[in-house]
Structure formats: structure tokens, C-alpha cells
Structure 1
Amino acid sequence: MAVEQIDLDAVPGDGRSDIWRQTLRGVGLLPLAETGCLDTGTVTSFRAPAGARMTMVQARGQSFAFSAPGKAPGPLVLLLVLSGRGRIVAPSKAFELADSDLVVVAPEAGVQVEMRGDFSILLLDLSRSAVEARVGRNRAGFPVVLGGTVAASAARPVLRTLAMNLDTLGAGDFAAAEVAVTELVSGALLAELRGNGHERTDSQMANFRRVAAAVNRRLGEAGLSIQDVARDEGLSKRYVQRLFKQHGESFSDYVRRLRLERCKAELADPAHAHEAVGAIAMRWGFRDQSYFSRAFSSAYGVSPSNIRRGVGTVADGRPLQRGKPLKRPAAPMAFPRSAAEFRTHGESPTTELAEPFRQARFHLPANAQTVHWGYLSKSLPPVLTVRSGATVTVETLTQHAGDASERMIQGDAGAESVFEWTRDWKAVDRRGAGPMNASIFGRGAGEGFGVHILTGPIFVRGAEPGDVIEVEFLDIRLRPCANPEFAGKAFASNVSAWWGYQYQDSIVPGARRETVTIFEIDLTEPDVARPLYSYRWTPQTDPFGIVHETMDYPGVLVDPATVTPDWRALRGIEIPARLHFGTVALAPREEDLVDSIPPGYFGGNIDNWRLGKGSRVFLPVSVPGGLLSIGDGHFAQGDSEVNGTGLECSLTADIRLTLHKASGEGRPFLRALSGPLIETETHWVLQSFSYPNYLRELGRDAQSKIYQHSSIDLAMRNAFRQARRFLMEHYGMNEDEAHCLLSLGADFGVTQVADGNFGVHATIPKALWGDGDR
């Protein structure tokens, strides 16, 4: 068993074309000459001990053939479109491909596949002899699209499950799934052939299914004969022989093949590792060990003992923390109110937000009309339009202001408008990427699948997919408390939350709790924060009457009468300032509503404290205008964000936005940038995650699965690959030089383990190049 993966994001730009073509050829695909869009792409391939191969290809705009016409027949290929649109072309027919289409291809027929835009497909080798034994030889004019039969419908979720676990798949699971998929596909093919008027009558097909079921029931009987089956089913021996002849396989060949398939599945299954090979063979009707070994090796090209030596295990996934459930109702779209909706409440949007800007400096306040809460979306209308080079003062609000509303909301008109929530009115209704009717958990609109208050989005004129937007932080400052009782102060909150690393690992097992600590910052000495008091979260009831046992929905104001403050918590501690924004994001292209918690190639909830004043972050554009949103202000945070939050506060920033066109002459590392890159005065910071593009890599239900599949190992691997690629592209190093420098001069650190998609960063000092960053 072997799993191999090539990810173009880790490959320097100059070598991508050759490596991509070589990789595709290695999995049986021939890239066509017009194959072009190579800015991103991943090929993950699994090969079982017996030689069967399963491959997932994720990329953009690819065209390829399965094999050169006339090549000797090998395995059939089953193609499942996990996502995307395209077209399959054969010499005698062509048809469109869409999500969940399932196609059986004979590779030697010169079939071509043309995929448009972002796509993900799964390819699985199928034993030609096994399929032909079930449906008859030379009966199907491949390629065949498997329609809406029960068998095809059952095969699709099995294949999707295999695709989702491809990188941790065990040989035993694969062998069992291979048998099941082969049976289901064969059944679906039979239904297609029946619908196309092939020679067997309905009665003959029904009788063959009866006979096949009888064989399966008695497969372990060593002396099973055609007379026994015919007698059991009330048919003549001659009629049963004719049924198998029509099927293209003798009775004895059919029984031997099924027995070998069952043995193969159990030999590859770790659950049967304690059993002798001979015992498994005998259970499935083989009385002669030597005959079994010869038949097995002849059928699969590998001995039974070698199949067993290839057995692997499946790694357990992490328990679900946050995110949408795997099964959920469709979520209707809902966005910040339009101008007409504002007017129904006696409000009006400002003129500067309604019209495109032409000046170079702008001010973007934070209020109910300029923020969106808990999600990113390519469909959000921009609240501000600027040109490259513009400077914008952006106000942001922390989603934790309700932890001490008298200090962080009261008297602040912008904050009050965002947090306004009474029994009759909720100013910002959607909070998260879930459904508006809260049909999953009943927590509130959006279900809290995403928590951050984000100001924006900002549309950058001329920004197109493939470009890069540079966000430079000229200044970052605290938002003062507006309550006269606390004049000259600012406040911040830290929560040891239920999604934090510590929650399942308390000193006393099972003693889980959420603890809020409020910090005070004196604006005359804003470089330190001092703890004011702490309290343990108690169940809070929101204005709609829903009780929140934990912090499971953002913006619920804590009633001071329900908690007991500890004014002695962390006495004498001072936290030095590291002002930064946890979330700096462009809109991803893959989905319309994206949970704000897991970060990705588009930026998002990066939570890296190095992204402070004087730094800049480069983000790849995937939708027109980029649609930049900023929020999740932090006074400070340590690497890992181990208890689930930083020192959360409301911040205001002056930023400069610069557009780098893909076609322009610029820094080499900006060409086909595949994820966030941070630059400070002294360092490069390469930021990566367990899944840089989890929305594509994890397929359907990615926003749930990311919380189950993330690991520091994956994040470390991707950070290493990104750092290596950066050194090779920007500094012209070869691979060996990059490996040496990364080990001697770079620091790899855990950015966060709180955001579903774990983060690891590589910090490279510019001083390694002496006097200048050449």
C-alpha cells in the first residue's frame, strides 16, 4: 500500500508544468497540449498491494486523455465527479459532466475528459474481468454514464467516503470497498444495458440474479455444484448453464472468482490479521492450499502473503469541535440589509458607502451597516470601493464585547448598533454560515458557525482571480471605551473556551469550564494590559429566550448579576501589547457562505501576532475585486492560542491596499501565490495550515470535515513546502540549498490550534542575507 501526493502549491512556478504532466502520466492520465491553468492543483494517489489504484485530482481547467488509442486492455476506470463541470469525449459519443456523475471508462478507447473551472474528480481502477464476469464481455459500449439506479446511488457515497479518507486509507478498508463498488457498478451497468435493449429478457435477468444470490449464500461450501443451485431455485441444470453462458462466464469460473475476491478482502483487512492464510481460504471453499495460492497469484499478480504484508491502518480523526454538521438543511442566503431595508427602519446608508470612491484616503466605520458577522461570502455587496494605492482607516469591533458590555459596548454608537438585540429586533441577524431559521441546534440565525465581526468587504478595482492584494498596516490603535465611567481606558477579554485546546484536558478529568478574564488598558500607557477580574461562564439567556449553556452563539451579552467576578485573578501580571488582527480575509471562490473560523489560502482567521503595525500581508485573489474583510482584533496573543482566544479587543487600523497584477513585473514569489505571506521589517513569515484550501481539498461538507481532519503534522508539512518554494522562487535557490537554510536559519512555530484548520508558520530572518535582502 502506498499513498503519494503532489501539490502544486509547494512547487516553484518554473517547474510546475513538467511536474504536473509527469504526475498525471504516473496515474494513467495523458495531459493534452492545451492544458494550461497550473496555478493550483493536487493529485493524491493510493495503490493497493494487489495493484488497484485510486486517484483524486483537484485542479482548474484541465484536459486529459486516459490512454493512447489502441493500447492493450487493462482495468476499467470508474470516474466520479466530486465537484465541477466538464465534458467527456469518446470517438463515437460525447456528453456533459456535472457534480456526482459516475462514468465507467475503457481507457484504451481514447477517451478524453475536459474539465472547466475548479474541479475535483475521483478515479478508481476496476477489474475488467470482474465487471465483465457480471455483465458479460463486449456488451457495454464504454464510456457508460451510470444513471439514477439504486446501485449507482449506493456506490456514490462509498466513493466519496474513500475520497475523503484517501490519505489515511487502510488496505483492508480499500479491499472491502473495492468488492462492494465492483458489485454496485456491475449492477448499475446491467440496468443500463437492459435499458439499451440488450439480448437477455427480463425473466432471464431476474433468474440470473436469483442464481447469483444463491451462490453468494453458499459460497463457503467447498462442494457447491451447479446441480445444488439449480435444485434450490427450482430450475433445470441446463437452464442455469445457459444463464451463465449468456453472462459470459462458466459456473465454476464465477464461483472461483467470487471466492478469490472474498479472500482478497479479508487478507487485506487488519481485523483478520490474526488468522492464517489457509484458514481464510478454507472459510471460502478452497480445500487445497496449493491450488488456492496458484489461483490467487494468477488472478491478482501477487501472492496471498504479499497482500497481507501490505495491510495498513486508518488513523482516527479528531473529534468534532466547531463547524457545520455533516448533514444539514440548505441555508438560504441572507446578507446585510440593503438601502431599502435601512430606510424601513428610519435609517439611510451614507453617500460615501453607496458610491464608488475616487479619492485616495477613506474612513470605514464599524456599525450595523458595514459589518457582517461570522462568515465570508463572494456574494456580499461591497461597502467600499477603492483603487490600488488607497489608504483606508478601518474600524473593527470584537465579538467578545458582550463579555463586559458596560465597558466594551455601552456609549459606543457603532458597537451599540451592531450588538442591538431585543425581544423584537436584532440589528445583525445572521451570525455564522448556518441556516437563517436555526433549524440545526436552535441557537440563532447562522447557528454561530462562524463568530467574527468583520468590517467590509472592500472592493479593489481591477483585482481579478490570479492577482495578489497587499494589505499594509500603517498603524493599529485601540478603540477607547465610550462609557464616561471608564474614560481614558480600553478593555479586552480572554476566554478559556469550550473550543480551546485545554477544554478536554483539565487537571481533574471532566471538570470542564469556560472562564472569562477581562483586562484593562490605561490609554496613557497603552503598551501593557492588566487583568481586572475574571468569572466563570454561567448559562445565559438571549433576548429571544434561548438558553446558552456555553459560548455557543456570538454576541450574547453576559448579565453581570449571573456571574461572580474574581478581582484577584492574575494579580500583578502585565501583558505586553502585540496589537494585530486575527482575521484579514479575501472572499474564497468555492462557496457562497464560508464559516469565518477556519483560515485558508484566502487568509481569514490567521491569528498570527506578527501581522501588526508595519507589517504587510499578501493574499491571492480568487473573486473579482478581492472583497477584503478585517476584524477579530487582538491586544496580544501567544503562538498556539492554546485556550481558544487571544486578548480580544476592538481596534482601528490605517491600511494601504496595493494590487499586484498577475501579468505585471513584480516579485517572483507573487506569481501564483497560493496562500497568505506576511512580511515584516526583519522577517518573512510563510503561513500555512493543515489544509491550505480545505474548501476544495475536503470536498462536500468541507466546512464540517475540517474540524475532524486537521493536524499539526499536516500543517507543518505544508508550511515546510511553502517555505521551500519561497526560497527557490524568490532567492533562486535549488532544493538542497533551501533545505539547508530552512534547517539552520528558519523557525517553525504553531500559529494556532483553535480555528479548526490548524496553523504552522515558518519565520525566516532577512538578516540571513547580510546587509541586504537580495
Structure 2
Amino acid sequence: MPGVQALQRSWNTEAVRPAEQFSFYREAICQAFMNLTPEWPKGAAFPARVENVQFGDGAVNRVTFPEHTVRRLPSDIAASSRRCFYLNLKLAGRCRILQDSHELSLSSGQVGIFDSDRPFTLIHDRGPVLGVASFKVPAEALNDRLGPSGSVPPTRVSDDPALGTLIVESARSLNANALRMPPADAAALFGVLLDLVALALARRSRGNAREASSFADATALALRRAIHERLREPRLTVASIATSVGISERYVHKLLARAGTSFSEFVMERRLDGVAAELRDPAHTHRDIGSIAFDWGFADLSHFTRRFKHRFGMRPRDWREGK
């Protein structure tokens, strides 16, 4: 909900003696928190850090560690309360994922997905310091997007020629800004990321069929994401959005018309939704209505009031008071 901060937790093995660092990583972090079984690495010291940020139904674990191997055993799966997929953005080093008869390699800047409900082995190498942003994707969230498609093998979704760049950019943006964004925005961006991943998986499963349609869908998602991230800019233009997405202004208008709206109407509705949410948010009761409206990109208060009443059927003040 708006006004509620994202939940953040962190662990650092540097807080314990070098000889106990790997045990702390294995027992207090991997087994108790993530239900994974790491194997003893080379040497005694094991400097590792785990930061967990939750937003909506999703979460990201940012992890840095030395070279080592991690396994997901049947006992780890049985101890888990909820099935999920891991969507990993590799930040440094390399990781090899072995699951069933599949082997997948991820290098820095690549994104791969694999299932937590089947045993796997992760071999983290090419250090000395490795890093990953691992998004925990509820299985139902991905299945709702994929439909009855069966199991998902380990897949490097960043390889998709049409969607790969969008997936990497969305994952990087969410990883970097999850704590800075309002939780509702972070959850929305997570949804966009899952939409892109699901499209990439669907494209992979059916080959190149309907490639043009899939690309248009993915570009439309990227367009809405770009507008959403810049809604508060007072002078937001079609030209600036087109440049940020890498498409023409004409294509921006075409994609929005395909969805039954226009650029100005889409921006207006999303800004009004943002103001309406903050007017009902107890965290913003100390702020006057004009300040909130200006913060959402409105420069003319009388115009804002007219549009707000037209959309919600009442004046902003009455909306805030719950009349």
C-alpha cells in the first residue's frame, strides 16, 4: 500500500569470527531463511552479505559471496512453505545452474529463471567476489501469466532478441530502486518484469510464431513502465518517452491507440490515480492538496480540480474526507 515502506532485512558474516563465517552463512542464512544447502568453500573465512527487500508478493535477495556451490535438496524443498521461481540477475562473476538434464550459465548482466520446486545445483565461480540479485517469484504469479504451459526449464531469458534488453533493464531498475520507490510502484515494476519474462518464455516455447505481436506487447509494457517512472515530471513529453524507450513518437501514439487511449489521457489518468491514493494515505495528511498535485506533475490547480472531479465524481477535498 502507498505510504508503507518496503520491508528490508540484511545479514553479514563479517559480524562473526572468520572461522565461523561459513557456518553462519549456511545455518542462519541459507538453511533458515532461503532453504538452500551450501557446500564448504576453500579456506576458513567466508565474507558474505545478504540483503532481502520485499515488495508486494515479490522479493529480491541481493547476495555477495566468494566462490562456492549451493544445492537445493529434496529436504530443502520439503521445508519450504511456498513454491517459487528464482529470477537471477547476475551482478559479478559467473554461475552455472544444473537442474534435471539442463545446464545454464549466467555471466554478469545476464538474467535466468529456474524452478525452486525441483532440486538444483548452483556453481558460483570466476570470483573472487561474486554477486547476484535473485528475485523470488511466486509460482502462481508466473503461472497466471503463462497459463497451462507445464514446467519451466532453466532459461536465460536475457537472450531473447526482442525482450532480453527490456528484461535486464527492468531487473536492474527494480534491484537498484526497490527501497527508493513507493512500494506500490515497486510492485508494479515487478509485475512488468514478470510480464516480460512470461512473454520471453512463451516466445521460446512456440519458436518465432507471432513474433511481431509479442514484440509489440513487450514494447507497450516498456512504454507504460517508462511513463510510470516519470509521471511526476511536469513537462513530460511524447518525445522524451519515445527516446527513453528507443522507439519513434509515432509508434508511441500507435501503441497507446491500440490500448484505446492517448498519451495525454494515459498520463492524466495515472497522475490522478497517484494523487487520489496519496489523499487517502494517512502518511500524507499533513500535506495540502495543492502540494500533492504539484508533486504529481500538475501545474494548474483549477485544471487539476476539474479533471479530478470528472474522474472520481467529487472534489479532491471531499475525496480526502471520504465523503
Give the corresponding residue for 1:52. Answer: 58
SS of 2:131's equivalent in the other structure is strand
Counting aligned pairs with the same residue, the percent is 16
Give the corresponding residue for 2:130. Answer: 119
Residue 134 (str. 1) matches residue 141 (str. 2)? no
Residue 23 (str. 1) matches residue 34 (str. 2)? no
In 1: Cα distance, 2:33 partner to 2:276 partner = 29
In 1: Cα distance, 2:69 partner to 2:275 partner = 39
In the TM superposition, residue 26 of structure 1 has moved relative to its aligned partner by 4.3
Unaligned runs of 5+ in 1: 218-264, 277-774
In 1: Cα distance, 2:62 partner to 2:122 partner = 14
In 1: Cα distance, 2:155 partner to 2:162 partner = 16
Residue 33 (str. 1) matches residue 39 (str. 2)? yes
Over residues 360-392 of structure 1, what are the superposed CA-to-partner deviations in whole Å (9 max), with x where a residue is unaligned? xxxxxxxxxxxxxxxxxxxxxxxxxxxxxxxxx
In the TM superposition, residue 136 of structure 1 has moved relative to its aligned partner by 2.3
Could you tell me which of 169, 180, 186 is aligned with 1:174? 186
For the aligned residues, what is the CA RMSD? Answer: 3.6
Residue 83 (str. 1) matches residue 92 (str. 2)? yes
Q: How many residues align?
A: 218
TM-score (norm 2): 0.57
Change (3 A) 1:152 1:68: farther
Letter in 1 for 2:87: L
In the TM superposition, residue 81 of structure 1 has moved relative to its aligned partner by 0.6
In the TM superposition, residue 66 of structure 1 has moved relative to its aligned partner by 4.3
Unaligned runs of 5+ in 2: 1-5, 225-269, 282-323
Give the corresponding residue for 1:192. Answer: 204
Letter in 1 for 2:103: A
Change (3 A) 1:271 1:10: farther
Larger radius of gyration: 1
Is the Cα–Cα contact under 8 Å of residues 29 and 65 in structure 1 kept in the other structure?
Answer: no
Is the Cα–Cα contact under 8 Å of residues 172 and 270 in structure 1 kept in the other structure?
Answer: no
Over residues 275-304 of structure 1, what are the superposed CA-to-partner deviations in whole Å (9 max), with x where a residue is unaligned? 48xxxxxxxxxxxxxxxxxxxxxxxxxxxx
Is the Cα–Cα contact under 8 Å of residues 90 and 108 in structure 2 kept in the other structure?
Answer: yes
SS of 2:117's equivalent in the other structure is helix
SS of 1:150's equivalent in the other structure is coil
**Which residues in structure 2 correspond to 1:499-510 (within 5 Å)?**
none
Letter in 2 for 1:47: Q
Give the corresponding residue for 1:13. Answer: 18
**Which residues in structure 2 correspond to 1:403-414 (within 5 Å)?**
none
Give the corresponding residue for 2:161. Answer: 149
Give the corresponding residue for 2:254. Answer: none
Change (3 A) 1:27 1:194: farther
Over residues 464-514 of structure 1, what are the superposed CA-to-partner deviations in whole Å (9 max), with x where a residue is unaligned? xxxxxxxxxxxxxxxxxxxxxxxxxxxxxxxxxxxxxxxxxxxxxxxxxxx
Letter in 2 for 1:102: V
In 2: Cα distance, 1:3 partner to 1:112 partner = 27
Q: Structure with the greater relative contact order (CA < 8 A, sep ≥ 6): 1 or 2?
A: 2
SS of 1:43's equivalent in the other structure is strand
In the TM superposition, residue 12 of structure 1 has moved relative to its aligned partner by 2.4
Over residues 666-712 of structure 1, what are the superposed CA-to-partner deviations in whole Å (9 max), with x where a residue is unaligned? xxxxxxxxxxxxxxxxxxxxxxxxxxxxxxxxxxxxxxxxxxxxxxx
Is the Cα–Cα contact under 8 Å of residues 82 and 160 in structure 1 kept in the other structure?
Answer: no
Change (3 A) 1:11 1:172: farther
In the TM superposition, residue 44 of structure 1 has moved relative to its aligned partner by 0.7
Over residues 599-628 of structure 1, what are the superposed CA-to-partner deviations in whole Å (9 max), with x where a residue is unaligned? xxxxxxxxxxxxxxxxxxxxxxxxxxxxxx
**Which residues in structure 2 correspond to 1:294-443 (within 5 Å)?**
none
Letter in 2 for 1:16: Q
Could you tell me which of 50, 69, 89 is aligned with 1:63? 69
In 2: Cα distance, 1:149 partner to 1:29 partner = 34
In the TM superposition, residue 14 of structure 1 has moved relative to its aligned partner by 3.8
Of Structure 1 and Structure 2, the greater helix share is in: 2
Change (3 A) 1:23 1:168: farther
Is the Cα–Cα contact under 8 Å of residues 106 and 156 in structure 2 kept in the other structure?
Answer: no
In 1: Cα distance, 2:109 partner to 2:8 partner = 24
In 1: Cα distance, 2:182 partner to 2:131 partner = 22
Is the Cα–Cα contact under 8 Å of residues 102 and 153 in structure 2 kept in the other structure?
Answer: no
Is the Cα–Cα contact under 8 Å of residues 83 and 119 in structure 1 kept in the other structure?
Answer: yes
Give the corresponding residue for 1:223. Answer: none
